[in-house]
Amino acid sequence: MAGYEHLLYEVDGGILTITLNRPDCLNAFNDEMSFELQKALKEAEKDKAVRCVILTGAGRGFCAGQDLRSRSINAESSNGNGDRPHLGESIRKRYSPIISKLRSMEKPIIALVNGVAAGAGASIAFACDMRIAVKEAKFIQAFVKVGLIPDSGACWLLPRLIGYGRALDLALTGDAINAETAYQWGLVNCMKDSLEEAQAAAQELANRYAQGPTQAIGLIKRAMNKAMTLDLDAYLDYEADLQEIAGRSDDYKEGVSAFLEKRTAQFTGR
């Protein structure tokens, strides 16, 4: 789609690839890119032709997080109480909507981590449904080293991915982990030696999703999200509703027919 200056938005065969496109600064976020990403995700959600999303970065890095050049204590405090910045407002406006949308969009989102994922960039990778990384990729959230907390959902997302102990350790030290460690810890689903191999793996996975029963996939995501906040009985009740909905999809009929006729199902996503 036209209209994006800081990212690339390319749809092909049901797969949308969003490429953060500020390679000179390792795809760090400025205001414009954060709002464009929000817009792109909203567009992806609405577009029925998009059945899977790949999120990646142009050039050497995946995403370096907040561009510190576009944030200075002075800039932030110019409309505040004089000498105190308003980071909370910045997060609410720029990052929270991205994280929220990545988790709530009922389509699978694959982070193709082609290089360093730092700060909010790492959080965004955590918020995607799965991560495929190249060997050279690194995850680093050095917030603590500037007296801040890991934001953009990191403290919620990371413990759920790698467990409280390791997540807290990384948050408190601000240390980086490489792709190999991330893979061992289950933080990335798949690690490849080269960018080409990683891209191929992401494409292959995305193709499977794009040809899959999109509605069911969305409902699975909804179910797992909901399950994190409900007790078992409430979840079971919710699950029954979701299965009711899934059972009414065309893809269910097709799936069962294909199974009985011993052929490959042709899902339409409806």
Partner 1 sequence: MSTKTATEYQFILISQEERVGIIQLHRPDALNALSPDLMKELVDALEAFDADDAIGCMVLTGGEKVFAAGADIKKMAEASAMDMLLVDQLARWDRIRKLHKPIVAAINGYALGGGCELAMMCDMIIAGESAKFGQPEINIGVIPGAGGTQRLTRAVGKAKAMELILTGRQFSAQEALEMGLINKVAPPELTIEEAKKLAKTISEKPAIAVRTAKEAILKAFDTTIEGGLDYERKLFYLLFASADQKEGMQAFMEKRTPAWSNR
CB 22 within 8 A of CB 6: yes
Question: Shortest Cβ distance from residue 51 to partner 1 (Å)?
Answer: 18
Report, in Å, the least distance between residue 66 CB and partner 1: 28
The span from the CA of 270 to the CA of 189, in Å, is: 28
241 forms part of the interface with partner 1 (CB under 8 A) = yes
Stretch that binds partner 1, among 6-14, 130-138, 169-177, 244-252 (CB under 8 A): 244-252
Q: What are phi and psi of 255, to 5 degrees?
A: -60, -45
Task: Using the minimum distance from each CB to partner 1, give the nearer residue, 190 or 245.
Answer: 245
The contact pattern for partner 1, residues 184-223, with x = CB under 8 A and - = no contact, is: --------------------------------------x-
Instruction: Rank residues 248 and 253 by Cβ distance to partner 1 and give the closer one.
Output: 248
At closest approach, how far in Å is the CB of 55 from partner 1? 24
Instruction: In angstroms, give the least distance from the CB of 71 to partner 1.
Output: 28
Look up tokens 């759920």; give the residue.
160
Q: Which stretch binds partner 1 (CB under 8 A): 141-149, 154-162, 242-250, 262-270?
A: 242-250
CB 270, min distance to partner 1, A: 12
**Interface with partner 1 (CB under 8 A), residue from 190, 242, 258, 265:** 242
Burial of 189 (0-12, 13-18, 19+ CB in 10 A): middle
> At its nearest, how many Å lie between partner 1 and the CB of residue 87?
23
Q: Is 245 in the site for partner 1 (CB under 8 A)?
A: yes
Q: How many CB atoms lie within 10 A of CB 231?
A: 8
Q: How far apart are CA 161 and CA 49, in angstroms?
A: 30
CA distances from 55 to 114, 176, 206, 251 (A): 10, 21, 11, 26
Taking the complex as a whole, the smallest distance from the CB of residue 218 to partner 1 amounts, in Å, to 11
Report the nearest approach of partner 1 to the CB of residue 241 (Å).
Answer: 5
Number of residues lying near partner 1 (CB under 8 A): 7
H helical segments located in the chain: 31-46, 73-77, 87-90, 96-104, 120-127, 154-162, 164-173, 179-184, 195-210, 214-227, 232-247, 250-260
**Binder of partner 1 out of 231, 244, 260, 263 (CB under 8 A):** 244
CB 149 within 8 A of CB 177: no
Give the torsion through C-alpha atoms of 200, 204, 210, 213, to 10 deg.
-160
Span of 22-30, 66-74, 153-161, 236-244 interacting with partner 1 by CB under 8 A:
236-244
| CB closer to partner 1 out of 67 and 251 | 251
How far apart CA 70 and CA 56 sit, in angstroms, is 22
Q: Which residues bind partner 1 (CB under 8 A)?
A: 222, 238, 241-242, 244-245, 248
